[in-house]
Structure 1
Amino acid sequence: MKDTQLSDEATAPDEGKADRGEEGRLVGADRVLAVLKELARYSDGVGLEEMTRVIASPKPTVHRALSTLRRAGLADQDDQGRYVLGDEFLRMAFTHHEARPEHVRVRPVLETLAARFGETAHYAVLDGREVVYRAKVDPPTGAVRLTSTIGGRNPAHATGVGKLLLAYQLDTLEAVEKWIGDVPPERRTPQTLCTAEALHAEFQTIRGRGYATDDQENEIGINCIALPVYTTSRIVPSGSVSVSALTYRTSPQTLIDAVDDIRRALGHLGVAGR
C-alpha cells in the first residue's frame, strides 16, 4: 500500500536545522531507532497518530522515520495504513539469532532440562545491568508457563542468571559498589538483594558453590537455579543456563538437589566449566 498520509519531505518548522550537522544526524538516527523499537511492541500494527503520541515527536518527524524504515525494508504498512515490522527486519533478526553458536550448542541442554523438570529452561547473557534471554524452551507439558521471551530482559541483580554472571565479574566489594554507582538496584520483590554488601556476600557464595539461585527475587511465585556456560572460555562464563520454576510446582530445594544432574547435562555437550 502506498503511504499517502504525509510526503517524505514534510518537515516540522524546527526540524530543518535539527537535521543538519553531526549532532543533528545523531539525533535523527536516535529518533529512527526509537521508532523502530516502539514499532516492535505492536504485533498488529500501529497508526501514525498513535506512534506520534508515544514517541512524543512532531508527526512529520515520526513519519520521516517510518519512511526511512520502510525504504530499508525494516517497516511496512498493511492495507489499513498501520505500520508493522518489515520482513527484512524479521529476516535479519532470525538469521542472526539462529547463527549464534551458543544458541545452537545450548538448546539441546535446555530441551533436556525442560523435559526433566517440567519447567522452563533459559539461556541468558549479561548486558550491562541487565540479562538478555537468548534461548528458551518451555516444558513439553503443563498448563501454566512463564511469559519470558527470547530477547527479553530482566535486572541482573534480581535473577539467578544475572547474579551468577555478575559474581564472576565483580569479585570485590569495591567492584560491586562501582557497578551499582549512583543508581540503586530496583527492589522487584521483598526478597530482592539491593545493597552492595548483600550482593557481594551473595556473589561470594555463588562463586564458592558454582551456581546461583533466585528465590522469588525477580517475581513472586517464581524461583530458579542457574549454572555457568563456557562456550568461549574455560575461565569466564559466556552465559548462564537456568531452570525457572513455579514455586508451588517445583521448590527451590528440588532444583538445588538436582544441581549435579544439570552439571552433567551441560558437561555432556562440552559447554560447562566447573
Structure 2
Amino acid sequence: MVLAVEKVLQILNLFSAENPEWGVSEVARALRISKSAASELMSTMEASKLLRRTSRRRYRLGWRLLGLSQTLLETTEFRTEAREVLRDLMETWKETVHLAVLDGAHAVWVEKLQPTPAIKIPASGVGARLPAHSTAGGRMLLTSCEWENVAEAFAHQGMPALTQNTITTPDELKTELERVRDQGYAIDDEAACVGLCCVAAPVRDEKGQVIAAVSLSVPAFRFQEGSEEYTAAVLEAAVQMSQKANKRTFCGGLTDSRSTREVRTTPNGEVSNAN
C-alpha cells in the first residue's frame, strides 16, 4: 500500500506546465516500472478523478485536484488576514504582490494580488512553484534552514538558471543567504524574470519562526529608482503580517527554527521535516 501511494505521488509530480500530458508508456519509462503497472495505477487515479483521460488516450491532471487545492487555500486562516495587508501594499504601490511558502526546495505562491493594468509575470499565479534559489521570496525562506540541508537538497535538484542573473552555484547561494539573513530582506535583481525585480521580507509567527515571505515585484527600471522605498514598504508589510500570525498556519517544507530543526532530503532532492 505504501509503495502504491508513493507511485501515485510520483506520477502526479510528473505533470507540469511544460509537460501537461503523459501517456502510459511515458510514465512507465519515467518511473522505471512496467507498462501494465503504470496502466493500472493511472486507471485507478482516473477513477478517483486525480487524472483525466484525453481523446488521444493520454492523461492530464484531474479536476479533483483543483477542488483539493481550493480547500487547502480556503482553510488557511492566515491567508485571509495576510490578504488584507497584501491589498494595502498593492494599492499603495500599484505593483504585483505575492505571499510564498517553502515546499521542499521550491517556493510556492499561496496568494497573489495585482493592479490593473498589470505587467505579465510568468509562472507566478497561486499554486505556482519555482526553485527557491531563483526568487527573492524563496531565498528569504531558505535563510531559516541549516546550510548543510540546503546544500544537500540542491545537490539533488540542481540549480537551474532562469536568467543570466540567477544564482547557479552553492557557494554563491551560501553567500547570498548569509547576506539576506543579516539584512532581513532579499532582493531579486532580474534573477527569475528578465526586466523584473523583487524584494521580499519574512513573515514570522509568535515564536519568531519564518512561516512565509511577502514580496513586491516591480519592473527593473522603476525598482532602481525607488529600491529603498519599496524595501521599507515590504518590511513594514511583513511586520504587520507577523503581528497577525498568532499560530503557524503555513506548514511548508521547512518550518522549524534553525536551532531546533532537523531536515532531511528525500531521494528526489526535496527537503523534508524529520520531526
TM-score > 0.5 by shorter chain: yes
Aligned twin of 2:150: 179
Whether 2:167 is the aligned partner of 1:193: answer yes
Whether 2:127 is the aligned partner of 1:127: answer no
Question: For the structure 1 residues 36 and 204, does the alpha-carbon distance in structure 2 shift closer, same or farther, using more than 3 Å as the test?
Answer: closer
Q: Distance in 2 between matches of 1:132 and 1:143?
A: 20
Decide which of 188, 207, 227 is 2:201's aligned counterpart: 227
Q: Is the 8 A contact 1:224 1:242 kept in 2?
A: yes
Deviation at 1:226, TM superposition (A): 0.2
Percent pairwise identity:
26
Q: Distance in 1 between matches of 2:115 and 2:198?
A: 14
Q: Distance in 2 between matches of 1:66 and 1:91?
A: 19
Whether 2:28 is the aligned partner of 1:56: answer yes
Question: SS of the counterpart of 2:100?
Answer: strand
Question: SS of the counterpart of 1:225?
Answer: strand
Question: SS of the counterpart of 1:260?
Answer: helix
Aligned twin of 1:160: 136
Question: SS of the counterpart of 1:251?
Answer: helix
Deviation at 1:229, TM superposition (A): 0.7
Question: For the structure 1 residues 177 and 188, does the alpha-carbon distance in structure 2 shift closer, same or farther, using more than 3 Å as the test?
Answer: farther
Aligned twin of 2:216: 243
Aligned twin of 1:65: 41
Q: Distance in 2 between matches of 1:60 and 1:42?
A: 26
Deviation at 1:188, TM superposition (A): 3.7
1:1-274 alignment to 2 at 5 Å? 25-38=1-14, 51-57=23-29, 59-76=35-52, 83-142=59-118, 144-170=120-146, 176=147, 179-181=150-152, 183=155, 185-230=159-204, 232-248=205-221, 250-269=222-241, 270-271=243-244
Q: Distance in 1 between matches of 2:245 and 2:189?
A: 23
The one-letter code sitting in structure 2 at the alignment partner of 1:222 is: L
Question: For the structure 1 residues 265 and 206, does the alpha-carbon distance in structure 2 shift closer, same or farther, using more than 3 Å as the test?
Answer: same
5+ residue gaps, structure 1: 1-24, 171-175
Q: Cα deviation per residue 1:129-165 (whole Å; 9 max; x = unaligned)?
A: 2212211122232353444122222222221112212
Q: Cα deviation per residue 1:82-116 (whole Å; 9 max; x = unaligned)?
A: 65544433322211121112322212222222233
Deviation at 1:263, TM superposition (A): 3.1
Aligned twin of 1:11: none
Q: Distance in 1 between matches of 2:126 and 2:197?
A: 19
Q: Is the 8 A contact 1:164 1:227 kept in 2?
A: yes
Q: Cα deviation per residue 1:213-262 (whole Å; 9 max; x = unaligned)?
A: 011122322210001112x33422111001122324x3245243232233
The one-letter code sitting in structure 2 at the alignment partner of 1:70 is: E
Q: Distance in 2 between matches of 1:149 and 1:164?
A: 19
Q: Distance in 1 between matches of 2:171 and 2:52?
A: 50
Larger deviation, residues 116-125 vs 69-78: 69-78
Q: Is the 8 A contact 1:34 1:55 kept in 2?
A: no
Q: Distance in 2 between matches of 1:143 and 1:214?
A: 17
Q: Between Structure 1 and Structure 2, whose CA radius of gyration is higher? A: 1
Larger deviation, residues 201-210 vs 120-129: 201-210
**Root-mean-square deviation (Å):** 3.3
Q: Is the 8 A contact 2:96 2:217 kept in 1?
A: yes
**TM-score, normalising length from structure 2?**
0.70
Question: SS of the counterpart of 1:258?
Answer: helix
Which of structures 1 and 2 has the larger relative contact order (alpha carbons within 8 angstroms, sep 6+)? 2
